Chain A
Amino acid sequence: MSSDPNDSAANAGDADGIVARFEADALGIADLDALEELRASYLGRKRGAVTALFQALRELDGDAKRAAGAAANRARQQIGARLEQIETELRSAATASREQAELVDVTLPAIPDNLGGLHPITQTLQEIQNVFVSMGYGVVDGPEVETDWYNFGALNFPEEHPARDEQDTMRLAGDLLLRTHTSPVQIRYMEQHQPPLAIIVPGRVYRRDTPDATHNPMFVQCEGLLVDTDITLADLKGTLDHFAKALFGPGTKTRFRPGYFPFTEPSAEVDATCPACHGDGCRVCKGSGWVELLGCGMVHPALFENVGYDPTKVQGFAFGMGVDRIAAVRYGLRDIRAYYDNDLRFLRQFTS
């Protein structure tokens, strides 16, 4: 660069002096506010020392102007770079100190949950419902106080027959009783609706059993009823096999044995491979590898007659399961009185 040495020297001297003064001032900068103040006093539009150098260029021309301009630019660059450096340092120091101050112990316990939960029977019932609802079944309920007719007569229980004793009944006044099963709802529903129909019926039922490890005077059943023109026992097998697999897992097998219920003919008892041991035998299945799942059968024609259907035109199947017992199998529960003790130490284990 060639210029007037005096002029350029004088300007260069001013610029160097400003840079040197800046360097000295910069040493004391401890925070971003002070930094902005510093920036303003050197690069600020109004009172910046470097800005003044540029303003002074207006008084010069020729080589002197070029030399002084170069020196001013150099000073602006040096100061600018230094300011940027200081800012970066200050910002990272501020971040570090904030991070230090706001350190979180991520292993500290969380704020405790405020969750309650659903009863294990409700949870199991929900799963049962889900299986059948996904197949197109409706879910309905009915009264818990029933007449003798709906609980027994309409379901083809002969008058004064021991089959009635097998469901030891809690009676109220007159011919009213606490329903011993959810099956009366089959009759009530068919009386109100025409086939085809597909429903399940969950609900509480009552038997005169003293509470012990395997009995309660109150428990929950879920009934199923499918009526159409051409439903077969093979359809019942297929449906319940599907249900067992959905409930206990795809590896589950089912076994149909002849059974007796006044309201179905043919009737069957269905076992499923034990979900605890998958059929090898364990304490849940008492070593047999099988657990009783439910009772079922083809709807007895007498029921169709009792509700005004033509039994030569419709066929259907029905099934009924003890939700308490199925839940006991699923959870390996030994004493089903626990369901109605409502002990929170028990209930809290069924996180849903």
Chain B
Amino acid sequence: MRFSRNWIAAYTDLPEGTALHEAMSMLGLVVDDARPHGDDVTLDLDFPSNRPDAMNHLGIAREMALSANQPLRTPTVEFPVDPAVASAELTRVELRDPACVRFLGRVAIDVSVGPSPQWLCDRLEAIGLRPINNVVDITNFVMWEMGRPMHAYDMDKLRGDGLIVRRATSGEKLVTLDDIERELSAEDLVIADHERVVGLAGVMGGNDAGVTETTRRVLLECAFFDAVTIRRMAKRHAMHTDASHRFERGLSAEGIDAAVERACGLLHELASATISVDSLDMTGALPEPRQIALRSNQIRALLGVDVEPTEVSRILSGLGFQLEATAEGFTATVPAPRVDVDREVDLIEEIARFYGYGNLPGTLPLVRSRTGGGLQPVLLDEMQLRTTAASMGFWEAMTFVFTSQTEQAPFAGESSAYVELANPLSEAFAVMHRNLTPGLLAAAGRNRSVGQQAIRLFEIGRTFVPQTGTAVGERRRMGLLATGEIAAPHWSADSRAASFSDVKGAVETLWKRMSWPELQWAAAPVEGIQTGTGAEISCEGSVVGFAGKIDPAVAATASVESDVWVAELDIEDFAGRERPALELAPLPRYPASERDVSLLVKNGTLYAGVTVALGAATDVPLADYRLLGLYEGDDLPDGTSVWTLRLTYRSSERTLTAEDIEVAHDSVVERLVKELDAERR
């Protein structure tokens, strides 16, 4: 919101230059911007939404004056009234809706409409308003001086006898001052004459009854409307005006009189108007003034410092509170415009603000907690997963949770339902993601577009799945992506492209690091994954994720041409689990012996067969085994390859003899040959 430095300075002395910004910010008014405007400075203030009472030049000056212990110069209002001119005889106002709590009307006649004097134009122009004519300018001036929106009607344009505050009937129309025709709904609160609507209450006046050069008789309106009613109207019509901004933050029924008096004084002074002797004061049920008990010991308890009662009194009186001393402190009567104050703590905040936050001491409390310190297990696990993935060469990505069905569908399946945003930023952000892979693929695409070849990314984040009704399930997932070279060519080694084994190795390492139950990998068709490369990953009998190579057609949509290997796992049921107790094994007492075997197997044979064959070999002293080599050479019979396994034999009871080992090895090889339908080489 824009304010004029000179205008504020008319009511109290202000610090020079940026010291003013500093002083304002220490009261809670942040100066977002300050631009010279002639000999004035336009201040753009970030106003807290709970202080509509102070969103005006006098309101700011009041706080600045109190803070600096300077006098406040409130404008004097003096004007003659004509006893022969009575508002009540000239017009009528009828309140037909309780959303108008109070309506004050006052008539001015013999008004000379014309341009405003320079000083008034300067004031308005400094805050970005265009001077229109002296009458309209006066209503704007008073709103920005005292914070009360006000409207002036040309009485001679009103049809019938005076104004009615009512709800519109659906379909009624109004051309507002911005020359836009608005179609009204039955929820709109309007000001109408006896034939038509002349203004949207608390938002904007209409063109029909506005003040122009020919206007001679003016009906001033200053009212108090219900905040929510005005807020809904402003939203419905997408009209954010200076008036609606104030009303929806909450004004009060009080303070209207002073604003109307001020406007009348100016009408007399600047438009040589004759002011009526009376006002039309239509008032509904007004709230009682609030009284709040303020305990001195509570000030200390909350702020951690003693504030002298005289200082408390100076501050609160300066803000318009009426104080009565009590045994414990004070009883404060809240000035009506301070809609933000309704508890003791609100008073204490005011005391702190003017005592100065900077003057409060800083102390370190003794931190006590019934729930203990440190990361909760699920967060610890997530952090451990992150650091492990990073140590394996993956870079942590963060992708947006909102995406499009188009991006998600290849992986979620065409029939999947999504959690939809009711008010998405755009179509590209219309639904919540179910999978992390599409976001990682998009990130890979962006990296490819800037020339990155070797790309390894991971992310841990929530995914969102619709449940019954409108409920939403959140699942923690982890995704990994590898494409391009895993190892760049280097003097010490050749380059190597990412493969299934890289993502599988990463997943298994992560799982092992977390001591989570063993994973099972099974070839299976997976959405978005090239046929024949996909794996379904299970744990404890349930599918927890997938891995494989992204279907090249899908990868191409993200502009990635190379093979993209991914794995994605649901870690919701694992992260935060209690770790199994470590069972420490004694170190082997007897030496181990290794034997290799080469097997000629038919292509298509699954390595899982090795696990099956050797998992059952509990009667032999087999301690370990691993796949040493995979050979597919021209010298082999068509459709075959050679697997070389290294088997480790060890007994926990004695040193194995060469014969022991020979017997065990023969038995193991025999099982392998049988299970794999292989030939020993």
Contacts and interface: CB of A to CB of B under 8 A. Distances in A.
A171 interface: yes
Nearest to B456: A116
Nearest to A142: B474
A116 B28 contact: no
A260 B249 contact: no
Given A162-B49, A268-B357, A347 B395 contact: yes
Interface string B355-386: 00110111111011111111110110001001
A138 B363 contact: no
Contacts of B374: 133, 138-139
Given A204-B461, A256-B357, A342-B399, A241 B303 contact: no
B228 interface: yes
A139 B25 contact: no
Contacts of B584: none
B490 A116 contact: no
Contacts of A267: 349
A172 to B, nearest CB: 6
A208 to B, nearest CB: 6
Contacts of A126: 383
Q: Which of A159, A198, A339 has the most CB of B within 10 A?
A: A198
A344 B398 contact: no
A315 B425 contact: no
A197 interface: yes
Contact of A266 (B352, B402, B452, B493): B352
Contacts of A340: 398-400
B371 A138 contact: yes
A234 interface: yes
Q: Which of B301, B401, B450, B487 has the most CB of A within 10 A?
A: B401
A14 interface: no
Contact of A256 (B358, B396, B474, B493): B358
B607 interface: no
Interface stretch (B186-194, B415-423, B513-521): B415-423
B372 A138 contact: yes
A217 B367 CA distance: 34
A159 B490 CA distance: 64
Given A166-B49, A258-B28, A195 B370 contact: yes
Contacts of B73: none
A133 B493 CA distance: 44
Contacts of A265: 343, 345-346, 349
Nearest to B28: A258
Contact of A162 (B249, B304, B456): B249
A301 B370 contact: no
Closest 9 CB pairs of A and B: A234-B304, A232-B304, A258-B28, A260-B48, A266-B349, A174-B470, A238-B362, A342-B443, A237-B362
B118 interface: no
B391 interface: yes
Contacts of B302: 232-233, 266, 298, 315
Nearest to A234: B304
B564 to A, nearest CB: 15
Given A116-B389, A217-B400, A173 B422 contact: yes
A119 interface: yes
Interface string B255-280: 00000000000000000000000000
29 contacts: A116-B393, A116-B396, A117-B396, A122-B386, A129-B375, A133-B374, A135-B373, A138-B371, A139-B374, A160-B228, A161-B49, A161-B227, A162-B49, A170-B402, A170-B423, A178-B421, A197-B371, A202-B379, A204-B401, A230-B301, A232-B303, A235-B363, A257-B28, A258-B27, A260-B49, A266-B303, A340-B400, A343-B450, A352-B390
Contacts of B452: 343-345
Nearest to A123: B396
B491 A141 contact: no
Given A160-B231, A193-B371, A238 B365 contact: yes
A278 interface: no
Given A237-B360, A257-B26, A117 B390 contact: yes
Contacts of A119: 395-398
A151 to B, nearest CB: 14
Interface string A326-340: 000000000000011
Contacts of B365: 226, 228, 231-232, 235, 238-239
A121 interface: yes
Interface in B60-106: none
A162 B393 CA distance: 47
Q: Which of A260, A342, A345, A347 has the most CB of B within 10 A?
A: A342
Contacts of B419: 145, 172
Given A136-B373, A145-B474, A162-B249, A344 B447 contact: yes
Interface stretch (A41-49, A61-69, A106-114): A106-114
Contacts of B450: 343, 345
Interface in A91-132: 108-109, 111-112, 114-119, 121-122, 126, 129
A341 interface: yes
A163 interface: yes
Given A122-B396, A145-B464, A226-B367, A172 B303 contact: no
Contact of B423 (A171, A195, A228, A315): A171
Q: Which of B231, B346, B369 has the most CB of A within 10 A?
A: B369
Contacts of B487: 112, 114
Contact of B231 (A108, A133, A162, A170): A162
B244 to A, nearest CB: 10
Contact of A160 (B232, B346, B390, B472): B232
B394 interface: yes
A258 B63 CA distance: 13
A137 B425 contact: no
A199 interface: yes
Interface string A257-294: 11110100111110000000000000000000000000
Nearest to B305: A234
B421 A198 contact: no
Contact of A233 (B50, B304, B369): B304
Interface in B13-45: 25-28, 30
Contacts of B371: 138, 193, 197, 199
Contact of A115 (B50, B361, B393): B393
A233 B301 CA distance: 9
A116 B304 contact: no
Contacts of B304: 232-235
A260 B488 CA distance: 54
B387 interface: yes
Contacts of B343: 265, 301
Given A117-B396, A235-B364, A257-B25, A112 B389 contact: no
A301 B398 CA distance: 37
Interface string B438-466: 00000100110010100111100110100
A102 to B, nearest CB: 16
A87 B429 CA distance: 81
Contact of B421 (A129, A171, A301, A339): A171
Contact of B491 (A109, A138, A210, A235): A109
Interface in B145-202: none
Contact of B375 (A133, A170, A266, A268): A133
A80 interface: no
Nearest to A217: B425
Nearest to B357: A256
Contacts of A111: 490, 492-493
